[in-house]
Amino acid sequence: MNSANPPTKHHYIPAFYLKRWAGPDGKVTEFTKPHRRVVVRRIMPERTGYQERLYELKGYEPELAQQVEQKFFKAIDTWASGALDMLERHGHYAPWNSHNRSAWTRFILSLLLRCPEDIALFREWWHTDFGRTDEAAEARYRAEPDSGDPETFAEFLNSRPLGLKERYQYQVLFSLIDHGSIGGEMNDMHWRVLQTPTEAPTLLTSDRPILRTSSIKGRRVIWYCP
Q: Give the pLDDT confidence of 49-88 residue by residue, as tens digits.
A: 999 999 999 999 998 999 999 999 999 999 999 999 999 9
> How many whole angstroms separate alpha carbon 105 and alpha carbon 54?
22
Percent of the chain with pLDDT strictly greater than 70? 98
Please measure the distance between the N-terminal and C-terminal CA atoms of the chain and give it in whole angstroms: 31
Cα dihedral 153, 154, 156, 160 in deg (nearest 10): 140
Residue 219: count of CB within 10 angstroms of its CB: 4
Q: Grade residue 3 by pLDDT with cuts at 50, 70 and 90.
A: low
- pLDDT digit string, tens, across residues 11-26: 999 999 999 999 999 9
Select from 79, 69, 50 the least CA-distant residue to 6.
69
Going by their DSSP bridges, the two strands 211-212 and 223-224 should be labelled as: antiparallel
User: What integer best gives the mean pLDDT of the chain?
Assistant: 92
Taking only the tens place, the pLDDT of each residue in 176-187 is 999 999 999 999
Return d(Cα 171, Cα 177) in angstroms, integer. Answer: 10
pTM comes to 0.88
Phi, psi of 134 (to 5 degrees): -120, 175
Q: pLDDT tens digits for 167-209?
A: 999 999 999 999 999 999 999 999 999 888 888 888 899 999 9
pLDDT tens readout for residues 133-174:
999 999 999 998 887 889 999 999 999 999 999 999 999 999
Rounded Cα gap, residues 220 and 165, in angstroms = 40
